[in-house]
Amino acid sequence: MAITGADRWVKFSDCPDIPHQAVVSVRILSFRERISRLRRPMGNMRHKRDPSGKGESTKSGLEPVPDELITDIRHLVTEARSAVAATINAGLTLLYWRVGRRIRGEVLGNERAEYGEKIVHALSAQLKSEFGEGFGRRNLFNMIRFAEVFPDEQIVRSFAPYLSWTHLRQIIYIDDPLKRDFYAEMCRVERWSTRTLQKKIDSMLFERTALSRKPEVLAQQELSALREEDRMTPDLVFRDPYILDFLQLEDTYSENDLEAAILRQIEQFLLELGAGFTFVARQKRMVIGNEDFYLDLLFFHRKLRRLIAIELKIGHFKAEYKGQMELYLRWLEKYEREKGEERPLGLILCAGANQEQVSLLELDRSGIHVAEYLTELPPRELLEQKLKAAVYLSREQFSVREDKR
């Protein structure tokens, strides 16, 4: 990767991460503008539609262009633009990581505490004059932090094409390494925008997953499987509690009201569930022994390759709900499960649940998950306190089960 000083351009023609036949240059100072241009839709191109419906023509008198031809070419151009944008993004991410690693190595090699601050300040002044604001003092410290919290270059390479520098600036200052890895991997897999990432962090998504309630060693194993094999597990998919404040329910409501509100806001509900969920049916009818049963909501998860049955309860969890959900899951497995799919899973959404009761029922053995839903987002301090208590209790119960084996 060659960087020229006078014109502040980065040339990627000799970068090992980019094919040699592709010579890409990008001005660092206007990187965001160039990406925006690459992604700009082509819909504003002026053309006239042929009245005969046979195709398009830019000027009268020219041969009409078949619709299929122009559509295919637009698709090819859009794909190429996205590929170039991803390549540039990955190249800059690796550049920033390598700059951070080099500066960090220089700073750590000197024993004077004030040396780091002084060298970064001096380096910033010189680099800014040559390459622009992207190498300002603050951003250099971001690069150092980036190299510090992600010391493995292979891990950086795995998410570099998918996470922008704006994503990474949000992630690198998360103190908990497990939480930091979780957001980086989920952002890669689910292709979150920077706004979505911030929303997930603010709503404490990590603390709401079952992954956070496992011992750190096991949690890291699941994240490694996600990174290396792209293998999603139920503990990465299910949350507790679910934040359903977008439903705007009244103080008193029925299960039918809750279900109807979810269907009205199905897009928001799917975003809260997470990427990979596809809506299948509402009030799924099951005939069992001449009796009719109705499942509230049925989804399919593409990554898990499983049907997901969801039951909505406006009150607290009751032990009898387990038998009901087991019946539904066995029916779905027998009559709805397709070849190549895993066994269906169940999610019981309640207004509240006694964690000891849920633990004693060992619902995970039946593929059943119980979670609370919140129709109003509580203050962060209260939510944090509640989730920390749940994490502590879950890890204690896990340790007890392990000791008995």
CATH label of the domain that carries residue 360: 3.40.1350.10
Give the integer Cα–Cα distance in Å for 220 and 181. Answer: 9
13 and 162 both lie in a single domain: yes
Q: Which domain holds residue 84?
A: 2-48+63-173
Looking at the fold, whether 257 and 165 belong to one and the same domain comes out as no
Is residue 391 in some structural domain? no
Please name which of 169, 130, 112, 123 lies closest in space to residue 146, comparing C-alpha atoms.
169
Helix (H, G, I), strand (E, B) or coil at 285: strand
Q: Give the domain-ending residue among 156, 173, 190.
A: 173
Verify that 155 and 287 share a domain, yes or no. no
Question: Quick one: 29 and 157 in the same domain?
Answer: yes
**127 and 10 fall within a common domain:** yes
Q: Are residues 167 and 243 in the same domain?
A: no
pLDDT of 335: 94
pLDDT bracket for residue 16 (50, 70, 90): very low
The reply to whether 247 and 167 lie within a common domain is no
Cβ proximity of 218 and 346 under 8 Å: no
* Confidence (pLDDT) at 14: 42
Counting the structural domains of the chain, the total is 2
Kindly state whether residue 362 falls inside one of the protein's structural domains.
yes
Give the global pTM.
Answer: 0.68
Burial of 194 (0-12, 13-18, 19+ CB in 10 A): middle
Is residue 317 one of the residues assigned to a domain? yes
In a domain, 56, yes or no: no
Of the given ranges (57-71, 83-97, 128-142, 147-161), which has the lowest mean pLDDT?
57-71
CA distances in angstroms from 206 to 21, 114, 185, listed in the order given = 42, 36, 12
- 116 domain residue, yes or no: yes
Q: Are 106 and 115 in contact (CB under 8 A)?
A: no
CB neighbour list of residue 231: distance below 8 Å, 6 or more residues apart: 225
Q: Are residues 159 and 11 in the same domain?
A: yes
Structure tokens that stand for 311 in this block = 């039951």
279 and 359 part of one domain: yes
Supply the mean pLDDT for the chain.
81
Does residue 396 form part of some domain? Answer: no
pLDDT in tens, 213-227: 777 787 888 888 888
Q: What is the pLDDT of residues 58-110, one digit of tens each?
A: 555 677 888 888 888 998 998 888 888 888 888 999 999 999 999 988 877 66
For residue 193, tell me if it sits in a domain.
no
pLDDT tens profile 271-303:
888 888 999 999 999 999 889 999 999 999 999
